[in-house]
């Protein structure tokens, strides 16, 4: 009995799958690969599989993870190769590793994630400037009265939330905006929220449109530093 941690990418049109579709996709892929997945007891046994961080519909990834309990002695590389032999368009296993005993579950370990936001904008948008403006702020509030959500039959305003402490890093790269954001139960910052706040600093807000959102990596905290979920 061991836990394998599997890092995968999903790029292209498969990005429109929901989280449950991803779960079903990988259950079938594990089945096809012949990896020695462990099953739950009972009349409808299922694989013991859990994802680190559900992917939203429309988001791509180069570094998402799930844990899979196995009964055999497959190595990480073997798991990666066997999975990749049965993958589908747009999906790939990047890396797999057997976790040391006592390693917290991927889902519980998530502390931060990297994102790349590709966008369409007018020629004059100085994105580096906008990022600089946002990073200068001491507080960056979301849900400032503009959003209302259904809550137990009545409409309830979401409480305004300061996400500035969760924006660890943000800069321009050749491909788009790079963001390192806090994730997990203590503080969870969504890249779409950050992008939306950026627009507030733009004189011509409508010219900006995120066209692609890619998660690049998910981190856990180890000895007060961030390190990828495998490693």
Partner 1 sequence: MDVSERKTALSHEILMKAEKPARYTGGELNTVIKEADRVKVRFCLCFPDVYEIGMSHLGLQILYGLMNSYEDVWCERLFSPWTDMDRIMRDEKIELFALESQEPVKDFDFLGFTLQYEMCYANILQILELSGLKFLAKDRKEDDPIVIGGGPCTYNPEPLADFFDIFYIGEGETKYRELFDLYESSSSKAEFLRNASHIEGMYVPSLYEVDYNDDGTLKYMRPKYEDVPVKVRKTIVNDLNECFYPEKPVVPFIRAAQDRAVLEVMRGCIRGCRFCQAGQIYKPVRERSVETLKKYADAILANTGYEEISLSSLSTSDYTGLQELLEYLIDECNRKKINISLPSLRIDAFSLDVMNKVQDVKKNSLTFAPEAGSQRMRNVINKGLTEEDILRGSKMAFEGGWNKVKLYFMLGLPFEEKEDIAAIGELCEKITELYFDTVPKEKRQGRVEVSASSSFFVPKPFTAFQYAPMDTMESFLEKASFCKKNVRSMHNQKSIRYQYHDAKTTIIEGIFARGDRRLSAAIINAYKAGALYDAWTESFSYERWMKAFEDAGIAYGNYIFRERTEDELFPWDFIDCGVSKKWFYKEWQNAKEGKVTQNCRAGCSGCGCGTFQCGICVSR
In angstroms, what CA-CA distances link 56 with 10, 14, 18, 22, 191? 12, 12, 6, 10, 11
Q: Can you tell me the distance from the alpha carbon of 137 to that of 165, in angstroms, rounded to the nearest whole number? A: 10
How many other C-beta atoms can be found within 10 angstroms of the C-beta atom of residue 105?
Answer: 13
Select from 12, 54, 104, 122 the one that contacts partner 1 (CB under 8 A): 12
Interface with partner 1, residue 19, by CB under 8 A: no
Interface with partner 1, residue 57, by CB under 8 A: yes
Total residues interacting with partner 1, rule: CB under 8 A: 31
Q: Which region, judged by CB under 8 A, interacts with partner 1, from 8-16, 94-102, 171-179, 183-191?
A: 8-16
Which CB, 43 or 101, lies closer to partner 1? 43
Interface with partner 1, residue 31, by CB under 8 A: yes
**Closest C-alpha among 201, 209, 147 to residue 176:** 209
Q: Is the dihedral of CA 137, 138, 142, 143 positive or negative?
A: negative
Select from 71, 88, 137, 205 the one that contacts partner 1 (CB under 8 A): 88
Number of helices (H) and strands (E), helices first, in the chain? 5, 13
Interface with partner 1, residue 62, by CB under 8 A: no
Q: Which region, judged by CB under 8 A, interacts with partner 1, from 17-25, 102-110, 152-160, 180-188?
A: 17-25
With beta carbons less than 8 A apart as the criterion, state whether 6 and 27 touch: no
Interface with partner 1, residue 1, by CB under 8 A: no
Quick note: the x/- pattern for partner 1 over 161-200, rule CB under 8 A, is ----------------------------------------
With beta carbons less than 8 A apart as the criterion, state whether 210 and 192 touch: yes
**Closest C-alpha among 146, 151, 157, 150 to residue 196:** 146
Judged by DSSP in three states, 153 sits in coil
Quick note: the x/- pattern for partner 1 over 96-135, rule CB under 8 A, is ----------------------------------------
Applying CB under 8 A, the residues found at the interface with partner 1 are 11-14, 16-18, 20-21, 24-25, 27-32, 39, 43-46, 57-58, 86, 88-90, 209, 211-212
């Amino acid at each position: 009995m061991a836990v394998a941690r599997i890092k995968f990418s999903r790029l292209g049109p498969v990005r429109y799958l929901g989280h449950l579709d991803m779960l079903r996709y990988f259950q079938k892929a594990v089945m096809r690969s012949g990896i020695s997945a462990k099953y739950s007891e009972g009349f409808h046994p299922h694989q013991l599989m859990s994802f680190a961080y559900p992917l939203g519909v429309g988001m791509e990834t180069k570094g998402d993870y799930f844990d899979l309990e196995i009964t055999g002695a497959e190595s990480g590389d073997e798991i990666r190769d066997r999975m990749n032999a049965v993958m589908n368009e747009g999906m790939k296993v990047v890396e797999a590793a057997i976790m040391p005993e006592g390693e917290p579950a991927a889902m519980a370990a998530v502390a931060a994630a990297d994102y790349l936001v590709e966008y369409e904008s007018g020629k004059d948008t100085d994105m580096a400037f906008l990022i600089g403006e946002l990073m200068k702020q001491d507080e960056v509030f979301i849900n400032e009265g503009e959003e209302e959500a259904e809550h137990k039959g009545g409409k309830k305003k979401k409480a305004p939330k300061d996400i500035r402490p969760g924006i660890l890093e943000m800069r321009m790269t050749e491909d788009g905006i790079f963001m390192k954001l806090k994730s997990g139960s203590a503080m969870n910052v969504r890249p779409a929220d950050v992008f939306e706040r950026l627009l507030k600093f733009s004189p011509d807000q409508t010219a900006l449109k995120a066209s692609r959102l890619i998660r690049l990596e998910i981190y856990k905290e180890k000895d007060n530093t961030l390190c990828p979920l495998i490693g």
